[in-house]
Structure 1
Amino acid sequence: MLLRHELGEVLRERRQQQGRTLRDVAAAGSVSLGYLSEVERGVKEASSELLGAICEALEVPMSVVLDDVTRRVAHVESLSAPVSLPVGDRGAVVSASAA
């Protein structure tokens, strides 16, 4: 899991919920259309300044966007929580990742 992918998904979902185009949000935030597209696809990392401009253009507080990202990351982490598996003849237990 990469944080930039989760952030990009949240930004895209917010934009689409508003029925707005990439071009509209890019213009409103004074952000390059290509760069915004790359951020939404998780190809590029968004600086705090760029993220602030995008959030302002979407009229969504950065704290709300980051909270959405946090929830997505927590969900992904819960899917890969360690599980205990019995190993060997003595019933020893080892931890393994479920993912």
Structure 2
Amino acid sequence: MILVRQEIGDVLRDFRLQKGRTLRQVASKASVALGYLSEVERGQKEASSEILASVAEALETPISVIMREVGDRLAVIEGIDRFPDTVPDELVAKFDASMMVR
């Protein structure tokens, strides 16, 4: 069984290590308890979107980049060889139309 929380934790740890930051530094900057962030990184706890956003900001990495990496890793685990790197035109048009209504 694929655990999304495990992949999220692995990606957060990888980004933290790439940035040369300690768990303590990121937890402090994100205003998250050190033990909790450690559990998130180990895939033992599911982080809320607010926590993920705070950690992403502390890592100076857009949340979209983090989530894209998670998605890419999940696709590999699921055996998906090819998936689009761009949004299909019909979805872009639908989004543009919905933004005009607002």
What's the TM-score once normalised by structure 1's chain length? 0.78
Q: Distance in 1 between matches of 2:10 and 2:32?
A: 17
Match of 2:74 in 1: 73
- Secondary structure at the aligned position of 2:45 is classed as coil
Structure 1 unaligned runs (5+)?
80-99
Percent pairwise identity: 58
For residue 75 of structure 1, report the CA deviation from its aligned partner. 0.2
Task: Choose between structure 1 and 2: higher strand proportion.
Answer: 1
Q: Where does 1:1-99 land on structure 2 (aligned, <5 Å)?
A: 1-78=2-79
Runs of 4+ in 1 over 2 A off after TM superposition: none
In 1, Cα distance between the equivalents of 2:26 and 2:37?
Answer: 8
Query: Which protein has the larger Cα radius of gyration, Structure 1 or Structure 2?
Result: 1
Give the Cα separation in 1 of the matches to 2:66 and 2:37. Answer: 15
Pick the structure with more helix per residue: 2
What amino acid is the match of 1:5?
Q
Give the length in aligned residue pairs: 79
Structure 2 alignment gaps of length 5 or more: 81-102
Deviation at 1:77, TM superposition (A): 0.0
CA distance in 2, matches of 1:46, 1:26: 13
Distance 2:54 2:25 in 1: 13
